[in-house]
Amino acid sequence: MEISIFGAGYVGLVTGACLAELGNNVVCCDIDRNKIERLKNGEIPFFEPGLKNLINKNIKKKKISFTLNLEEAVLAKEVIFIAVGTPQKKNGEVNLSYVKKVAKEIGKNLKKYAIIINKSTVPVGTGNLVRNIIKKEYNGSFDIASNPEFLREGSAVFDFMNPERIIIGTDSTESKKIIKDLYEPFSCPVVNTKIETAEMIKYASNAFLAAKISFINEIANVCERVGANVDEVAYAMGLDSRIGNKFLDAGIGYGGSCFPKDVRALHNIALNNNYKFKLLKAVVRVNNDQRLLLAEKTERLLGDLKNKKICVWGISFKPNTDDTRESAAIDIINLLEKKGGKINAYDPKVDYEKLRRDNKFKAVNFYSNKYDALKNCQALIIATEWDEFKNADLRKIKKLLQKPNIIDGRNIYNPDKMKKIGFNYLSVGRL
């Protein structure tokens, strides 16, 4: 199929690369000149395992190309995906300006029938909004569909290629058939539904996962007080197939570009429709508080943090990505700096220059080697569970730290082993 994708971000690029790999002809279009230039040269603007190889392979096969030219991206395409950002406004509402702009451009440039598929996460009703914007610019026939994306950064290519379900929200038989053909290579369940339901499925899924994380974090906080071990509690809970063993890792809470904004967006959607989604309010509050607990634990070990040197390992919101959007680590570092702490930080993939440009911190010293970052520090905080931290040389850590204090926000080490080595070790929900 001839496909174009508006928005060459995490979702757009992965979708484009995977659909090209499946044999389609794909054009990815973005308004970011630098991004498109880099992509044309086979450079990927962010870190995502497997993506670079896939894109370069399909550039060579002429199955994928990149353009700034919106007209070119619309012409002669059967399927046009919208995969632009839908960030959060200050008031919690979803900022749909990028989606609206793309809809207008598509409308202006359409010359024949196409299906416009929304992959961005958007409030219920956006399908109709996009339809009306296009209608104002183009009076030929076209269809609108919602096909929310469930990939996870860090395993996005795998997730796209091995979906657990595909949601197709549409109100026309023709578009349903074309989208079904597009996803023919996958054998997972396909849910055919109306556009509004498809839009809601994405928010409901993310909100439920966020609720699961906040729930286990609340259990962890009780475990600490009663002397129970949250890892074992979560393991045993997860053996019940009604609960499942995923998303039961206690820690410093969820972050990233999706969960925080999607939970708040759903809360807001409900509010705008005269319903108070009480549970979601609590999910957000628990998540925000959970980040603060790590700073409290650091104070428990170090006392007043003024001028204390502290090392933080991990800045990305989760492992295997360089994405720092709404990362718990950023809030924690800011809080420690506010309390007078002097921070050394290390992350295997995060772009330190970008963090500096974006003024994310006051005066953090960034390191390219995790052990160098430990020197003269009075404590190590684990903020992201990268494998290289799990496999770190614990005795070396102890030798390099000025004081053997570790505050583990992701429960990556065994408390008994840590105590045996001689660490003062605090984690989440375990004594």
Ligand X SMILES: NC(=O)c1ccc[n+]([C@@H]2O[C@H](COP(=O)([O-])OP(=O)(O)OC[C@H]3O[C@@H](n4cnc5c(N)ncnc54)[C@H](O)[C@@H]3O)[C@@H](O)[C@H]2O)c1
- Can you give the binding site for ligand X, defined by CB under 6 A? 6-12, 29-32, 35, 83-86, 98, 101-102, 120-121, 149, 151, 153, 257-258
Rounded Cα gap, residues 170 and 181, in angstroms: 14
Residues in the chain: 431
Angle between helices 259-272 and 195-226 (to 10 degrees): 120
SS3 label, residue 125: coil
State which residue, 10 or 413, has the beta carbon closest to ligand X.
Answer: 10
Dihedrals phi, psi of 150, to nearest 5 degrees = -115, 10
State which residue, 9 or 127, has the beta carbon closest to ligand X.
Answer: 9
State which residue, 193 or 414, has the beta carbon closest to ligand X.
Answer: 193
55 Cβ partners below 8 Å, 6+ apart? 13, 17, 39, 42, 44, 64
Catalytic residue among 18, 29, 223, 258: 258
Rounded Cα gap, residues 134 and 248, in angstroms: 43
One-letter amino acid of 410: R
Beta strands 190-193; 166-170: pairing state? parallel
Least distance (Å) from ligand X to the CB of residue 106? 10
Least distance (Å) from ligand X to the CB of residue 342? 32
Annotation says 258 is catalytic: yes
Least distance (Å) from ligand X to the CB of residue 206? 8
Least distance (Å) from ligand X to the CB of residue 232? 30
Dihedrals phi, psi of 154, to nearest 5 degrees = 100, -30
Rounded Cα gap, residues 81 and 146, in angstroms: 9
Q: 267 has which bridge partners?
A: none
Nearest CA to 146 out of 131, 164, 133, 161 is that of 131
Alpha-helix residue ranges (DSSP H) falling in 227-325:
230-238, 259-272, 278-302
Is-contact 279 207, C-beta < 8 A? no
Place of tokens 């046009």: 80
Least distance (Å) from ligand X to the CB of residue 180? 21
Least distance (Å) from ligand X to the CB of residue 150? 6
Is-contact 252 291, C-beta < 8 A? yes
State which residue, 9 or 341, has the beta carbon closest to ligand X.
Answer: 9
393 Cβ partners below 8 Å, 6+ apart? 371
Q: What is the number of the residue whose Cβ is closest to ligand X?
A: 9
DSSP 8-state code for residue 374? G
Least distance (Å) from ligand X to the CB of residue 109? 12
State which residue, 89 or 101, has the beta carbon closest to ligand X.
Answer: 101
Nearest CA to 128 out of 103, 149, 148 is that of 103
Report the half-sphere exposure of 212 (CA within 13 A, side-chain side).
18
State which residue, 8 or 302, has the beta carbon closest to ligand X.
Answer: 8
Is-contact 63 1, C-beta < 8 A? no
Least distance (Å) from ligand X to the CB of residue 130? 13
Residues labelled as active-site residues: 258
